Amino acid sequence: MVAELKYEISQNAYIKLVLHALKHKTTAVNGVLLGRVNPQNESVVEIIDSVPLFHSNLALLPPLEISLIMIEEHYGSKGLGIVGYFHANERFDDAELGIVAKNIGDHFCRYFPQAAVFLLDNKKLEALPKGKDQSPVMQLYIRDASKNWKLAGPDGGSRLVIKEPAANVVLSDYISSEKWQDVVDFDDHLDDIKMDWLNPELFK
């Protein structure tokens, strides 16, 4: 049952998406989650990497299709596929999952029925430097039996976990050092193909 699924995201995949959103604070941004179902435990979806997609015209299909082909080609050779979608809204106070996010999430569910949508929680992100919360600064949305996107219930926090417990400490350090300036997304790559959307240097 999809309802029992747990999503475990690696520290680097998690941090990369949040830094991407911080780089483009005044616009909506999105990204994809790469991973697989855990071979030892089918109730866990492992999110091993992420790719920042766009910070402008999120709903434009041609750039999205181009990016997905390139992403699937690269990660498919590693045995990974697209297992979810990340979205950050344009407005700080907007905590709703919008139509663009739902449509892209629906598209991913056609190929990976357990796909989830992670929505950036700006209030949790803002509180990050002040607190010691180890939970992700994201909200988990999953599709119900009627194929509608729903915020995971009271147990949502336990169903989306970061693999490394100290990830928020590392994220806070990166925010302090303005590491978000180094993130490259597909918009950047399509403007200048020398910019690498895989971000190989980001965590070195």
In this predicted model, what pLDDT tens digit does every residue of 99-133 receive, in sequence order?
999 999 999 999 999 999 999 998 888 888 777 77
Average pLDDT of the segment spanning 161-173: 94
The answer to whether 31 touches 64, Cβ cutoff 8 Å, is no
Average pLDDT of the segment spanning 166-193: 94
Eight-state DSSP code of residue 188: H
Which residues 6+ apart lie within 8 Å of 30 measured at CB?
53, 54, 58, 85, 86, 87, 88, 100, 101, 104
pLDDT confidence bin for 58, thresholds 50/70/90? confident
Question: In this predicted structure, what is the pLDDT of residue 197?
Answer: 96
Cα torsion angle, 105, 98, 122, 58, sign:
positive
Question: In this predicted structure, what is the pLDDT of residue 3?
Answer: 44
Tell me how far apart the alpha carbons of residues 125 and 48 are, in angstroms, rounded to a whole number. Answer: 21
Tell me how far apart the alpha carbons of residues 39 and 129 are, in angstroms, rounded to a whole number. Answer: 36
Tell me how far apart the alpha carbons of residues 177 and 190 are, in angstroms, rounded to a whole number. Answer: 27
The answer to whether 86 touches 17, Cβ cutoff 8 Å, is yes
Average pLDDT of the segment spanning 57-81: 92
Question: In this predicted structure, what is the pLDDT of residue 121?
Answer: 92
